[in-house]
Structure 1
C-alpha cells in the first residue's frame, strides 16, 4: 500500500508500505480521504509542531475517512463495507485526566500521526489503517466521505467553542481564518452565537470564513478597517501567533473569555498579562477534542455548505503538491488526499 511518510524537515515521501492486519480489538479501514492539517504542514516545513519534534520517520495524517475491511479478534462494529470516519485519539483511560472526563488531555494518549511520544504514533495517510474498533464511527445518513473528512478539524473547533462557555446570543471574535478558524465560525454559529467577526491577513481566507458563516471579516493588518468591533464577548485565537492572542486580549470585554486554540511557536510567548488582571479576563486553553467527534459528524450532515471549505482533492501519489497547495493560504482552505487507486486531482468549489 502507499503511505505518506515524513523523514525530516522538507523530506516528505510517498512510499510502498507493508499492509497491516487488524490486531486484537481493532478494525482495519481502507482509507479513502485524508485531510492535510496544519500540524502535518508543520512537520513537513519545520520538522515538528510546537514542542513536538520529529525523531524518526512517521506516517502523517489524522483526518481520515474510509471503509471497514475487517476486524481483529474481539473487535466488532459496523459491518465490512461501511463508510466510517476515524477518531484519531486513543486515550489511556486510567490517568487522572481520563478519570476526570478530560480524555483529550490524557497524559498517555496515542494520537495518529503525532511525534509527541517515542516511538511516534504512525498516522492515517496510508491505504490501510488499523485502529481500536470503537474509534471507527459510521457516517450519518446524507453525509458522504469527502465532507466527512472535515470531522476531525470541526471537532477541534467544537471543543474550542465549548471551552468558551455559553456563546448563545454573544458576539464571538475569531483571530485566524485558516481551516480551523473557519470551522470555529461554523461551530460558534451552531452554538447560537449572534455574530461572528473573523480577522486574517489574507482576502481568500476571509472569503472562506464568509462561506462558514462569518458576519464580519476584517483585515488584521488594517487598523482602519470599519469591521473591527469595539469589543467582543468571547474571543477565540486560532492563528497560532502572538499578535492574534494580543488582539483577543485587547478586544474582549471586561470579564470576557479568551480561548487559545492555535498552537503557538515553541518557547515563551509574551502576552498582555496586565489586561488579564485588570479586566479579569479568563484565558483558557483548548487542545484537540473528545466526544465532539460524533457531534461534528452530525453537524456536517446538517450543513452541506461546509463542503465549500474543501479547496481541492489530490491523489496521494502527488502528496507533495497537495502539501504545497495546503501551505498557500491565499489559494486554499482544506486540501484532501485521495487514496483511491484511480484517483485524479479534483478542484473544490471556488470561494466567493
Structure 2
C-alpha cells in the first residue's frame, strides 16, 4: 500500500509498505482523505515538530476519514465493514458518545497518530489501510460527505479550545488572530457559540476570504495597512501560533477580557509583554488537542455545509509533495487534503 512518509528534513516520500492484517480486537480502515496539518508541515520541512525529532521513517497524518475495510478476531465493538468513519488519532481516547471530560488528552503517556513524540514513533494515517482500535472510530451521518468530514479532528481541537472560554462567548466581540485553517474553524465555532461580532486578522487575503465565508463579520489584512483597535474586544483567539499574533491579541482585548492560545507556540522562551496581561487583569487560556469533542464536531459538520469553504485543495496521494507545498503557502490555500483512496461519495 502507499504511504506518505518523512525520512528526515526535506525528505518526504510516497513509499510502498506491506498491507497490514487486522490484529485481534482491531480493525482496518481504508483511508479516503487526510488533512495536512501544521505539524505535518513541520515534520516534512524540518524533520521535527516542536521538541519531537524524526529519528526513523515516520508516516504522517492524523486528520483522517475513511471506510471500515476489515475487522480482526474479537473486534466485537467495531462498526460494520463498509461503515464510513472518522478516526480519533489519540490512544487512549474518550469513548464514543462521552460527554463528561475524561482528561485523557492530557495523558503524558498517550500517543497520537503521525507523531515522533514516542520511541518507536507512532505511525500516522496517510496510508491506504490504517489499523485502529474500535474505540477510535466514529461512524459518520449519512448526509456528511467524507471530504467535509476530514475537518472533524481540527474542528474538535477548536471546539475544545473555545469551550474553555465558556459563556463568555455568547454576545461577545471576538478577535481571531490568524485566519488559517484553525483560525477559520475558530470563526465558525464562535459563530455557532453565539458570538455577536467576529473580526479575523491575517497577513494574507486568501485566509481572510475563507474566514469571511464561514462567518467573520469583519476581516483585516495587517500587512496591507490594516490595524486593530486597542482594548476593543471582549475575547481574542490566537490561532496563528506566532508570538506577534499573541501580542496583537493581548493588546486588542479590553480590561477583564480573556485570550485563548489555540495556535502552537515554540517550546523555547518567547518575548511577550506580560505586563499587559497583568494591567488589564486578563485571563489567558491554554488548550491542548481535544477530549470528548469529536462527536460534536461531526454533528456540526453534518449540519453546516458552509464548512466546505475551508477546504481549498485536494491532491492524490501520488501528488503528496505538491500537496505539502500548497498547504505551506497561505497565499493560495486554506485546508489542503490528500485523497488517499477512491471516495465512495464521489
Q: TM-score w.r.t. structure 2 length?
A: 0.93
Q: Is the 8 A contact 1:52 1:116 kept in 2?
A: yes
Query: Which residue is equivalent to 2:341?
Result: 340
1:112–1:123: 8 Å Cα contact kept in structure 2? yes
Distance in structure 1 (CA, Å) of the matches to 2:231 and 2:253: 9
Output the CA distance in 2 between the equivalents of 1:239 and 1:40.
16
Q: Residues of 2 paired with 1:28 and 1:85: CA distance?
A: 13
Q: Partners in 2 of 1:327 and 1:66 — Cα distance?
A: 24
Q: Distance in 2 between matches of 1:243 and 1:122?
A: 33
Kept in 2, the 8 Å contact 1:71–1:133? The answer is: no
Structure 2 gap segments, 5+ residues each: 95-99
- Once the 2 structures are TM-superposed, how far is the Cα of residue 92 of structure 1 from its aligned partner? 7.5
Aligned twin of 1:251: 252
Instruction: List structure 1 segments (4+ residues) > 6 angstroms apart after TM superposition.
Output: none
Are the equivalent residues in 1 in contact too, given 2:197–2:217 (CA < 8 A)? yes
Match of residue 216, structure 1, among 195, 215, 218: 218
Looking at structure 2, the residues matched to 107 and 13 of structure 1 have their Cα atoms a distance apart, in angstroms, of 30
Residues 210-248 of structure 1 deviation map (CA, whole Å, 9 limit, x = unaligned): 1111111111235654x6475211111111110011111
User: Residue 203 of structure 2 aligns with which residue?
Assistant: 201
Q: Which residue number corresponds to residue 182 of structure 1?
A: 184
2:163 matched to 1:162?
A: yes
Note if contact 1:35-1:63 (Cα within 8 Å) is conserved in structure 2: yes
The reply to whether residue 19 of structure 1 matches residue 19 of structure 2 is yes
Whether the 8 Å contact between 1:34 and 1:124 is mirrored in structure 2 is: yes
Find the aligned partners of 1:190 and 1:23 in 2 and give their Cα distance: 41
Alignment partner, residue 6 of structure 1: 6
Indicate if the aligned counterparts of 2:8 and 2:57 stay in contact, CA closer than 8 A.
Answer: yes
* Aligned position for 2:32: 32
Deviation at 1:266, TM superposition (A): 3.4
Matches within 5 A, 1:106-117: 106-117=107-118
Q: Helix, strand or coil: the match of 1:22?
A: coil
Q: Which residue of 2 aligns with 1:302?
A: 303
2:148–2:301 contact (8 Å) kept in structure 1: yes
How well do the aligned residues superpose, as a CA RMSD in angstroms?
1.9
Asked if 1:54 is matched to 2:38, the reply is no
> Corresponding residue for 1:278?
279
Q: Which whole-Å CA distance do the structure 2 matches of 1:88 and 1:111 have between them?
A: 5
2:313 is matched with: 312
Counterparts of 1:64-75 in structure 2 under 5 Å? 64-75=64-75
After superposition, the C-alpha distances for 1:185-207 in whole angstroms (9 at most, x for unaligned) are: 01111111111111100011100
189-198 or 227-236: which moved more?
Answer: 227-236
Q: CA deviation at 1:73?
A: 2.7
**1:64 partner SS:** strand
1:26 CA drift (Å): 1.5
Provide the rounded CA distance (Å) in 2 between the counterparts of 1:173 and 1:92: 31
Q: Give the conservation status (yes or no) of the 8 Å contact 1:112–1:124.
A: yes
Whether the 8 Å contact between 1:36 and 1:61 is mirrored in structure 2 is yes
Counterpart check, 1:264 vs 2:269 = no
- Give the superposition deviation at 1:312: 1.4
| Aligned-partner Cα distance in 2 for 1:42–1:220 | 25
Tell me, which stretches of 5 or more residues in structure 1 are unaligned?
94-98, 347-352
* CA contact 1:62–1:124 (8 Å) conserved in 2: yes
SS at match of 2:120: coil
* 1:92 and 1:108 in contact (8 A); partners too: no
**SS of the counterpart of 1:297?**
helix
Distance 2:286 2:226 in 1: 30
